[in-house]
Amino acid sequence: MTSTSSETRPFRVADLGTLVVLAWSGEAPDGDMPYLLAYTLGDAADGPEAASAAVERLLTDNGLPVGGDVVDGATRPSLPITMLVESGQAVLNMPQLNAQCVPPPEWLAAVGERAFAYLVFTTRPWPEAEPGKPVTPEALAEFAGAEETLTAAAHVVLPARSLRG
């Protein structure tokens, strides 16, 4: 007789592979909208599928539904993901994870105007987006706007916080 363990394997950040956060702003009817895209390169030791599963677990363990409704961080003060905007950087903080990026000036202006950013945290790996190399606007639009990316993502409106209060 063979039995399987129902014990849950502990979450390991290394299972995510390389996690990347990109910031950009886009036109909306009421002005520029600041966006953040978080994704894995799929380069975890166990491959892209394992990296994708690790991202999904990270999100669901933190109450962020993948492929579900938009989560409004302004109405959920206990949400375990926050965004700090300070010294020209955006930092995502979650239990077990901090990720940062240097957004362009127009993103900083848009988040300063709106006091929030729209986060798309996708489980879909993007191995073609190599760290340290610029992503073209066309490649970003193609990946970030793809149905496969959007339906495999948690969507969160994150209030912008700063050290100044």
One-character DSSP codes across 49-65: HHHHHHHHHHHHHTT--
Q: Within 13 Å of residue 81, how many CA atoms lie on the same side as its CB?
A: 28
Q: Are 38 and 45 in contact (CB under 8 A)?
A: no
Percent of the chain with pLDDT over 70: 93
Which tens digit of pLDDT belongs to each residue from 6-51? Answer: 456 677 888 999 999 999 999 888 889 999 999 999 999 999 999 9
Q: Looking at residue 129, what is its pLDDT?
A: 81
Distance, CA of 79 to chain centre: 14
- The pTM of the full predicted model, rounded to 2 decimals, is 0.90
Residue-wise pLDDT for 84-129, tens only, equals 999 999 999 998 899 999 999 999 999 999 999 999 999 999 988 8
- β-sheet bridge partners, residue 120: 37, 155
**Ramachandran angles phi, psi of 107, nearest 5°:** -70, -45
What is the dihedral sign for C-alpha 122, 125, 126, 132? positive
What are the tens digits of pLDDT across the range 46-79? 999 999 999 999 999 999 999 989 999 999 988 9
Rounded to whole angstroms, the Cα distance separating 39 from 131 reads 12
